[in-house]
A and B are shown apart, each in its own frame.
Chain A
Amino acid sequence: MKSVLEVDGLTKSYPGASRPAAADVSFKMAEGSALGLVGESGSGKSTTARMIAGLEKPDKGWVVLGGRQIDGLSRRAMQRVRRDMQVVFQDPYSSLNPRMNVEQLVGEGLLVHSIETDRAARRREVERLLGLVGLGHVDLGAYPRSFSGGQRQRLAIARALAVRPKLLICDEPVSSLDVSVQAQVLNLLRDLQSELGLSILFIAHDLAVVRYLCDQVVVMSDGRVVEKGSREQVYGDPQHEYTRDLLAAVPVPDPSHSRRSVTEEK
């Protein structure tokens, strides 16, 4: 199967840190798949995502997007590559420019990548995108401050999807949202994935969320990949002790099913 993303040996150290934030991270992602990159905070999952997104320069290793190596590109070349790869950030309260309205925010990608230079056509496309993320009713002139967290994250998703990327990187896109809203945004991402054939790289610390959305899972701990495989493999038969601990820590919503405790196991 063709791979949309390949990372190999990605390593990043920050000055003053005792260990690299990410060390020798490698995995492949098939086109149209959803890969969950999980781990606790400090595990290096966000650093890895930032290196893939070209927001952080890796010390070592490479990133291949759709068959083309994209790490170390010039700023201008990278700018063009971003049409194929978009990012949805964790906190929709700070990731949307407060001085831009809905039409400008969602339409910006169409404008800067010269996809739709005609204003009226761009507006129609913005309306279509808003409908796609369930915000068909909103006022195009409204500013982010008048939206709730879930609505803002939908705006951010519409903004990212406007350029029709091959890969969508979601960096903990629901962890700052209410639990009830989390499900809505996750459902939206899942629908979009099947409707648009989108590949999603999903960064999360919540294993339940990843299980729901992703068919491939990569587990990271202390900057290293400790386990990778299909959802069934990782959840059904975890090989690494860290994965087992992580799975045991997930609350089980079924009251008849008693929760396994990490301490009991040891």
Chain B
Amino acid sequence: MSTSVATRKRRRIPLVDRIALIICGLVLAIAVIGPWIAPHDPYAVNLSQRLLGPGPEHWLGTDINGRDVLSRILTGARTTLLATAVVLAVTVVIGVVVGTLAAVGGRVVDEIIMRITDVGLAVPSIVLALGFAVALGPGIGSAIIAVSVSWWPGYVRLIRTVVRETMQSEFVESAVALGVGRRRLILRHVLPNSLDILYVQVTLDVAAVMLVISGLSFIGVGAQVPSAEWGAMIAAAADNVTSGWWALVFPGLAIAITAIAFSLVGDWLRVLRDPTLKQEN
């Protein structure tokens, strides 16, 4: 009887991960419906209500321009998460295409691609973003391009490694022996058995990319100040942190909680995929 209880318990999602999953769901929901549930106009400047503390009218207070912080966080979720989603979509597609090419394209192609990724990995995204901000003008677009440019080499390397591993498996050799052509071999046999790892990696990267994008907005090369992007909100509030800490702390909490939640879910997926990582407690 005790074993059956233990089995049932093991199958259940751990409490922390369940909370993290719920938070991720909530954040994603807010990203979609945030502007409609915001109690105030996130951009309405009202100088008579500047820097009000958290209270019944403005739950999370107002910023230096009298804008409702809660409304701005709810609205800004969309900007931050959309930018993150665009970066991840672009880098995953590049990663799968270029990584597969490196894995199956022969030594010369592999060598060329790997040296390019070395360069990409060597340049920090902040520096790249500063460059793009100068070239294209600061804005969320520049931040997206900059982070994508510095993020894709990681996916190329990941996919290259996994595809090379899958190419060694016996069912791939069996497909070759059957007479399956290269294109079908890669599309039907290799890739479907290689891409599972992306679920984990992408979830883990949501947190990391979000932090970089918010960070870029904070230093002023990402989303610009009136925008309700979380990092930009922190940047704008940093000047009056002593007189209105709430305008800085709450967007910061939004970033931290979202990042932690996605990291936890990513870790949970990773353990789910590879049970040997599970810790006994």
Interface residues of A (CB under 8 A from B): 53-55, 75, 79-80, 82-83, 86-87, 89, 91, 94-100, 108-109, 112-113, 156, 159-160, 163
B56 at the interface (CB under 8 A from A): no
Q: With A98-B193, A99-B193, A100-B188 given, is the CB distance from A112 to B173 under 8 Å?
A: no
What are 23 A-B pairs at a CB distance below 8 A? A55-B173, A79-B180, A82-B177, A83-B179, A86-B177, A87-B174, A87-B178, A89-B173, A94-B171, A95-B170, A95-B171, A95-B173, A97-B171, A98-B171, A98-B193, A100-B188, A108-B180, A109-B179, A112-B178, A112-B179, A156-B174, A159-B178, A163-B179
Task: Decide if the interface of chain A is mainly helix, strand, loop or mixed.
Answer: loop
The reply to whether A82 and B175 contact each other, CB–CB distance below 8 Å, is: no
With a cutoff of 8 Å between Cβ atoms, the chain B residues found around residue A112 in the complex are 178-181, 184
Q: How far is the CA of A97 from the CA of B166 in the complex (A)?
A: 11
With a cutoff of 8 Å between Cβ atoms, the chain B residues found around residue A97 in the complex are 171, 174-175, 188-189, 192-193
The reply to whether A80 and B178 contact each other, CB–CB distance below 8 Å, is: no
Q: With A97-B189, A99-B192, A99-B193 given, is the CB distance from A55 to B170 under 8 Å?
A: no
B271 at the interface (CB under 8 A from A): no
Q: How far is the CA of A97 from the CA of B177 in the complex (A)?
A: 13
Known contacts A100-B188, A112-B180, A163-B179; 8 further A-B pairs (Cβ under 8 A): A79-B179, A83-B179, A89-B177, A94-B169, A95-B170, A95-B173, A97-B175, A160-B178
The reply to whether B179 and A113 contact each other, CB–CB distance below 8 Å, is: yes
Partner of B174, one of A79, A89, A99, A113: A89
> A116 CB to closest chain B CB, in angstroms?
14
Q: How far is the CA of A98 from the CA of B171 in the complex (A)?
A: 8
User: In chain B, what residue has the closest Cβ to A78?
Assistant: B179
User: In chain A, what residue has the closest Cβ to B175?
Assistant: A97
User: In chain B, what residue has the closest Cβ to A156?
Assistant: B174
The reply to whether B178 and A95 contact each other, CB–CB distance below 8 Å, is: no
A-contact bits for B93-117, CB 8 A (1 contact / 0 none): 0000000000000000000000000
Q: How far is the CA of A98 from the CA of B181 in the complex (A)?
A: 19
Q: How far is the CA of A82 from the CA of B188 in the complex (A)?
A: 19
B273 at the interface (CB under 8 A from A): no
> A203 CB to closest chain B CB, in angstroms?
14
Q: How far is the CA of A112 from the CA of B175 in the complex (A)?
A: 10
Task: List B151-187 residues whose CB lies under 8 Å from chain A.
Answer: 169-171, 173-182, 184
The reply to whether B177 and A94 contact each other, CB–CB distance below 8 Å, is: no
The reply to whether A86 and B171 contact each other, CB–CB distance below 8 Å, is: no
Q: How far is the CA of A91 from the CA of B174 in the complex (A)?
A: 11
- B174, B184, B188 — most chain A CB neighbours (10 Å): B174
With a cutoff of 8 Å between Cβ atoms, the chain A residues found around residue B173 in the complex are 55, 89, 95
User: In chain B, what residue has the closest Cβ to A82?
Assistant: B179
With a cutoff of 8 Å between Cβ atoms, the chain A residues found around residue B178 in the complex are 82, 86-87, 108-109, 112, 159-160, 163
> A92 CB to closest chain B CB, in angstroms?
9
With a cutoff of 8 Å between Cβ atoms, the chain A residues found around residue B181 in the complex are 79, 112
Task: List B184-214 residues whose CB lies under 8 Å from chain A.
Answer: 184, 188-189, 192-193
> B156 CB to closest chain A CB, in angstroms?
23
With a cutoff of 8 Å between Cβ atoms, the chain B residues found around residue A79 in the complex are 179-181
Q: With A98-B193, A99-B192, A108-B175 given, is the CB distance from A89 to B182 under 8 Å?
A: no
Q: How far is the CA of A75 from the CA of B171 in the complex (A)?
A: 18
Q: How far is the CA of A83 from the CA of B177 in the complex (A)?
A: 9
With a cutoff of 8 Å between Cβ atoms, the chain A residues found around residue B189 in the complex are 97
Partner of B179, one of A80, A96, A98, A99: A80
Q: How far is the CA of A82 from the CA of B174 in the complex (A)?
A: 11
User: In chain A, what residue has the closest Cβ to B174?
Assistant: A95
With a cutoff of 8 Å between Cβ atoms, the chain A residues found around residue B182 in the complex are 75
Q: How far is the CA of A31 from the CA of B173 in the complex (A)?
A: 26
User: In chain A, what residue has the closest Cβ to B193?
Assistant: A99
Q: How far is the CA of A199 from the CA of B32 in the complex (A)?
A: 64
Q: How far is the CA of A91 from the CA of B169 in the complex (A)?
A: 11
User: In chain B, what residue has the closest Cβ to A87?
Assistant: B177
